[in-house]
Amino acid sequence: MSTLKPRVRFAPAPTGMMHLGNIRTALMNALFAKKHNGTFILRIEDTDAQRNYDPQAHQIIADLHWLGLTHDEGPQAIEAHPPYFQSQRDHIYKRKLEELIANKSVYRCFCSEEELEKKRDRQRALKLPPRYDRTCFHLNPEEIQRLLDDKAPFLWRLYIDHNQIITITDLAHKHVTFDMQHFSDFPLTRQDGSFTFMFANCVDDIDMEITHVFRGEDHLTNTAGQAALYKAFNAPIPIFWHMPILCNTTGKKLSKRDFGFSLQDLKREGFTPEALINYLAIIGSSYPDEIMSFDQLVNTIELDAPHTTGHITYDIEKLHWVNRKWIERYTKEELAERCLPFLHGAYPHASLSDTALVNALFMLRTDMVTLKDCVPLLAYYFQAPTLSAVDIQAFVDAEALPAIAASIRQALTHVHQDDFASHLKQAATAHNVPLKNLFRCTRLALTGSINGPGIQELVHILGTQETEKRLQALLDILA
């Protein structure tokens, strides 16, 4: 690896929500920068004004912060190479285009889209690769001037030296060689004068001194054109990493139709930022201890020579497992803070100042797969269960119920004591009731479920007055 400190960039377009694919790209850039004491840059590709739903990239920046992927340079950070919005960089693109014009590296193309499509159709019919035939490259100066005088629309194309062999360095593929005779002269501008994604991207990377570019495996062939542009500018070609594509279980590229594709969907379902980062870092690989913090990932994930593969499979069940593990790692305060938005949605009066609620939540952490699970799991805390004799008899035989009622009635006088559960056990012995059945009925009365925290813990959570009230309601049913 170069001795220069790496400068990497995440360049999302604010035309859609953050999703797993670009989150993983951002993550790998951030991990790489942290590992090598480099700079993680955020750049916004916002030239598609009609589809720009987040003009100032506030949501993108908020999402990155929520994920713990704070950029070092860019909007709302150090601005060493401003501006960081492509829509504000037009003057830079024009200046760089003038360089190519002066070097005779580009030429005007007056072909209409209809003409180009006819050429492509003809080439496909002849079993030839669809490639621009350089009609306009061969125009003489007089013909060009006539077209300009007629105000004929045109775009600028980069002239590709078909005798050139270009080799790039890729972290996974090592060295990739492109024989440029197989590539076409491609547009740098559109007929309306705006600049293409490929041109703007390359100019930005050169201007911002980007040393490493991480992009999807599906962009590998496009890299030949990028490399040719770097050559035309006589600029050093960055090191690339063409990352595996995230696919669903059927092998198709992950899309918005797949559950969990959108970050907002995952947040709404109660996935934690730590779990998402953890999962996206380890996906497609195997580690002895798979639950890792960001700093642990920096020291563990192989980024200088990553494993190469065309695609990796997104497994929601594995993400559920990682999420569960992170929930179990939270402190009592961390868990309560993360669950509060979900509790507020269902129970507006939920408060972190309620110590009993915070304790109840912490006791349930091993039963939670996502943070959203706290809502049904804590329903008993906010509302007493509604039971019937049928509900109870689903778990305990009807003939055992009188003895169970007698046991609860005997122990109930001790509900205000810290050893209420011990008195239940004594009552079970006195009335020859299996302890399992007695505890099942008691839990049903307190929570509506036969599973959950211990009986004594439930008394502490609900309070003795509410506990007595719910047990008395059970006795009324059994009477």
Mean pLDDT split into 10-residue runs, the chain, 479 residues = 81 86 96 97 85 79 96 96 95 98 97 92 88 95 97 97 96 94 95 93 97 92 95 97 91 85 93 98 92 96 83 92 98 96 94 92 95 96 93 90 94 91 94 93 94 90 94 93
Question: What are the beta bridge partners of residue 245?
Answer: 311
* Long-range residue pairs from 339-347, CB within 8 A, at least 24 positions apart, any chain: 339/371, 339/374, 342/270, 342/371, 342/372, 342/374, 342/375, 343/374, 343/375, 343/378, 345/375, 346/375, 346/382, 347/375, 347/378, 347/382
Specify the pLDDT at position 417.
85
- CA–CA separation, 204 and 195 (whole Å): 12
Q: From the CB of residue 436, how many other CB atoms can be counted at a distance below 10 Å? A: 12
Domain 91-165+173-182 = CATH 3.90.1170.50:
no
Half-sphere exposure of 304 (CA within 13 A, CB side): 9
Domain 1-78+244-329 = CATH 3.30.70.60:
no
Specify the pLDDT at position 57.
86
Q: Which residues of 148-183 are buried (b: 16+ CB within 10 A; e: fewer)?
A: eeeeeebbbbbbbeeeeebebbbbbeeebebebeeb
Specify the pLDDT at position 49.
66
- CA–CA separation, 105 and 199 (whole Å): 13
Specify the pLDDT at position 305.
83
Q: Where in the chain is the domain with CATH 3.90.800.10?
A: 91-165+173-182
pLDDT tens for 230-274 read 999 999 999 999 999 999 888 888 888 888 889 999 999 999 999
Instruction: Give me the CATH topology for the region 384-478.
Output: Arc Repressor Mutant, subunit A (1.10.10)
Residue 339 corresponds to which tokens in the numbers above? 């669950």
Query: Do residues 318 and 279 touch, judged by C-beta distance below 8 A?
Result: yes
Specify the pLDDT at position 43.
97
Rg (CA), the chain: 32
Sign of CA dihedral 269, 275, 280, 284: negative
Phi/psi of residue 382, nearest 5 degrees: -95, -20
Question: What are the beta bridge partners of residue 253?
Answer: 247
Phi/psi of residue 240, nearest 5 degrees: -110, 160
Phi/psi of residue 247, nearest 5 degrees: -120, 160
Specify the pLDDT at position 308.
74
Specify the pLDDT at position 3.
55
Residue 62 corresponds to which tokens in the numbers above? 């908020």
Nearest of 422, 421, 328, 302 to residue 28 by alpha carbon: 302
Q: Where in the chain is the domain with CATH 1.10.10.350?
A: 384-478
Q: Where in the chain is the domain with CATH 3.40.50.620?
A: 1-78+244-329
